[in-house]
Amino acid sequence: MVFKRPLRKENPPVVFVPGLFGSMSDVIIPGTGDWHFGIAGIVYQPFIDLLERELGLIKGENLFTAYYDWRKPIDHSARHYLYETIQQAKKITKQKKVNIICHSMGGLVSRAYVESSYYKKDVNEVIMMCTPNAGSAPNFSYWTGGSLPIHTGEKFNLVRLYMEAYLWILSKLYRTDDITTIHEHFSGLHDIVPGKAYGDYLLHKSSIINSYTFLSYESMNTKNPLIDDLNEKQNKRSKRKINLTLIAGIGKETIKYFEVIPSHSKKAWIDGKVINAIKTEAGDGNATLASVFAINGEKHVVKGSHNEVLFNSLPMIAQKLGIEYRQPNNTFQLDEDYCLLLIHGRGRVELIDKETGDLKKGTFSDVYSIRVNDLTCLFIPQERLTHDKVTFVTMEDEIISYIWMKNEERTENTVKVNAETPFELISYY
């Protein structure tokens, strides 16, 4: 049984700031509509539902979401999106301050605002979950090489699927090389590579047998001036009397260091090509404990992955918001693993029942899709694939290319399809 006391009207309203890929609209990808959680709705919508159901918050009354264009630099997101959402929340509720709940990259957006010169003294509490306050090593690989050419350690990593999907869409929309495309159209990624506080994280083989040496952060080409600046001026936050709670996840293999070799490319892997990773379980699968706790604040640790921490932090969130809440002593786990299917070609993607051959009409709440021109991106629960097959139907002869990712397995292929012989991709278990 859950006991709760709804947030009183005189309490500050709550602004939720999602992480990377947690906002979508026509601004980011034309044709996707007004602002919503996009592919990250798989995680964020249940979390918002939980805040409403269990903590008594109400969207549009005392609960607001600060969507933002995560492609842009974090400073831009703070000034043009978070700031505006906070002003809207204050106007609607007639309150002078808000409380911020933020996740992952959303924590850096929140810090960029509360530590800025245009801060309006209107934030009381910041509850920050899984924010890489010193940066995240996997993002170095994506920023400098356009990919993560090694296993993350987990059989299923939803953040990696998000990244794979978006980088694939970018590669199809723009015809420049991968690195140029990322740097020109996804500059926000640079703001979450490791900064100085992360410490040295690239290992080179030394001239001594079976030994390695670190490449110092100071000597690297890839630095993070945004995070370095935020960490240098973090005392501004305490002087402004903003309470900060840091919540980190543990128990999931998380990349901490990379082994790299020299790269001969003039654009890619400028600090070394990633060939291996050293991992730690002191992390949530994406952000290490040390990175989350790289700044001052009240620190708490919960078990769970990068996304599970959202739900496992609910008692702490309730306490900080002044809401009475008690739940059974257990931890939340994501119910389903998702597969990723990326298809380049005209036509439509449909789910067919393997046993009856019947087409399943309409949309499905558990299957998320994006369609941009002739690009189709599908996130499909693995559980659904025990009963269904994915069929790509086209009304004319066409060559299509596809990428299929299940757990850490990746398949790429090109096939010719038409209405009589549709493309079928079946997962056997």
pLDDT in tens, 348-367: 777 666 556 555 544 455 67
- Strand 98-103 and strand 63-65: pairing? unpaired
pTM strictly above 0.75: yes
DSSP 79: I
User: What's the burial of 31, exposed, middle or buried (CB within 10 Å: 0-12/13-18/19+)?
Assistant: exposed
Residue 327: burial class (beta carbons within 10 Å; 0-12, 13-18, 19+): middle
Q: Read off the tokens for 84.
A: 């505006």
pLDDT at 16: 98
Same domain as 356, residue 383: yes
Specify the residue for token string 């629960």.
Answer: 381
Same domain, yes or no: 121 and 230: yes
> Can you tell me the distance from the alpha carbon of 38 to that of 138, in angstroms, rounded to the nearest whole number?
22
Mean pLDDT of 29-36: 90
In a domain, 50, yes or no: yes
| Cα 46–chain centre separation | 15
With respect to residue 147, please indicate whether it lies within any of the assigned structural domains: no
In this structure, the number of other CB atoms found within 10 A of the CB of residue 22 comes to 26
Residue 204 located in a structural domain: no
Residue type, 267: K
Together in a domain, 320 and 364: no
Contact 182, 142 (CB under 8 A): yes
Instruction: Give the pLDDT band (50/70/90) at residue 332.
Output: low
Instruction: Share the mean pLDDT of the chain.
Output: 87
Same domain membership, residue 99 and residue 25: yes
Specify if 118 maps to a domain. yes
- In this structure, are 279 and 348 located in the same domain? no
Domain assignment of residue 187, yes or no = no
Q: Would you say residue 333 lies in a domain?
A: no
88, 25: one domain: yes
Last residue of a domain, one of 302, 326, 350: 326
Task: Copy the structure tokens of residue 117.
Answer: 């010169």
Vertex 209, ends 208 and 212: CA angle to 5°? 65
Residue 334 — very low, low, confident or very high, per pLDDT cuts 50/70/90? low
pLDDT on residue 3: 44
The confidence score (pLDDT) of residue 173 equals 85
Give me the CATH number covering residue 287: 3.40.50.1820
Same domain, 250 and 126: yes
Determine what percent of the chain is predicted with pLDDT higher than 70. 87
pLDDT of residue 386: 65
pLDDT reported for residue 50: 92
Kindly state the average pLDDT of the residues 58-62: 96
Q: Is the pLDDT higher at 313 or at 408?
A: 313
105, part of any domain? yes
* Cβ neighbours, 10 Å, residue 267: 14
CA distances for 104 relative to 21, 260, 369, angstroms: 10, 26, 23
Q: How far, in Å, CA of 44 to CA of 62, rounded?
A: 17
Residue 141 lies in a domain: no
Same domain? For 51 and 96 the reply is yes
Rg of the Cα atoms in the chain: 22
Are the CB atoms for 143 and 195 separated by under 8 Å? no
Query: Of 295, 326, 357, which marks where a domain is finished?
Result: 326
Helix (H) or strand (E) holding 191: none
pLDDT of 356: 61
Q: What is the mean pLDDT of residues 85-89?
A: 98
34/130 same-domain check: yes
Number of domains in the chain: 2
pLDDT tens-place string over residues 95-119 = 999 999 999 999 999 999 999 999 9
Candidate from 13-27, 51-65, 117-131, 375-389 with smallest mean pLDDT: 375-389
> What pLDDT does residue 327 have?
66
Last residue of a domain, one of 305, 326, 347: 326
12 and 125 share a domain? yes
**Do residues 317 and 342 share a domain?**
no
- Among left, alpha and beta (phi > 0; psi -120 to 50; other), residue 177 is beta
Tell whether 9 and 82 lie within a shared domain: yes
Query: Where in 136-272 does DSSP place strands (E)?
Result: 202-205, 212-215, 243-250, 254-261
Q: How far apart are CA 80 and CA 425, in angstroms?
A: 42
Range of the domain at 355: 338-425
